[in-house]
Amino acid sequence: GQNIDQPTEMTATEGAIVQINCTYQTSGFNGLFWYQQHAGEAPTFLSYNVLDGLEEKGRFSSFLSRSKGYSYLLLKELQMKDSASYLCAVSLLGGSYIPTFGRGTSLIVHP
């Protein structure tokens, strides 16, 4: 099985930087997804990391360390609209690669 761990809730100030961590314990790791989900809405894809390192997309960046079983999502220049749940999902090698989701981190951005 897989064990995926994320903080339940985080708060941050508008304009600041926040880092949301995700740790996982699994065998046969393939890749790690990050999704954003606003309350009552569908999740939307943010990033997919397969190799070690940092990938930047505008205000959002995602980092992966395969040897440490660790990823983080970095959000810069926070805006109120970034208040949402951030879901980490791990896919495994072989078979169907179907990703398993963590419980999500609820981020609250305040003025």
- Regarding 69 and contact with another protein (CB under 8 A), the answer is no
Residue 39 to residue 47: CA distance in whole angstroms: 20
**Contacts (Cβ under 8 Å, ≥6 apart) of 19:** 72, 73, 74, 75
Give the SS3 label for residue 104.
coil
Contact with another protein (CB under 8 A): which of 48, 60, 76, 83? 48
Could you tell me what percentage of the chain is helix, strand and coil, using 3-state DSSP and rounding each to the nearest 5? 5, 60, 40
Contact with another protein (CB under 8 A): which of 51, 58, 96, 111? 96
Residue 86 to residue 38: CA distance in whole angstroms: 9
Which of the ranges 19-27, 43-51, 57-65, 69-77 carries the binding residues for another protein, by CB under 8 A?
43-51
- Regarding 98 and contact with another protein (CB under 8 A), the answer is yes
Please state the length of the chain: 111
Q: How far is the CB of 45 from another protein (least distance, A)?
A: 4
- Regarding 40 and contact with another protein (CB under 8 A), the answer is yes
- Regarding 84 and contact with another protein (CB under 8 A), the answer is no
Binding site for another protein (CB under 8 A): 4, 8, 30-31, 33, 40-45, 48, 87, 89, 91, 96-104
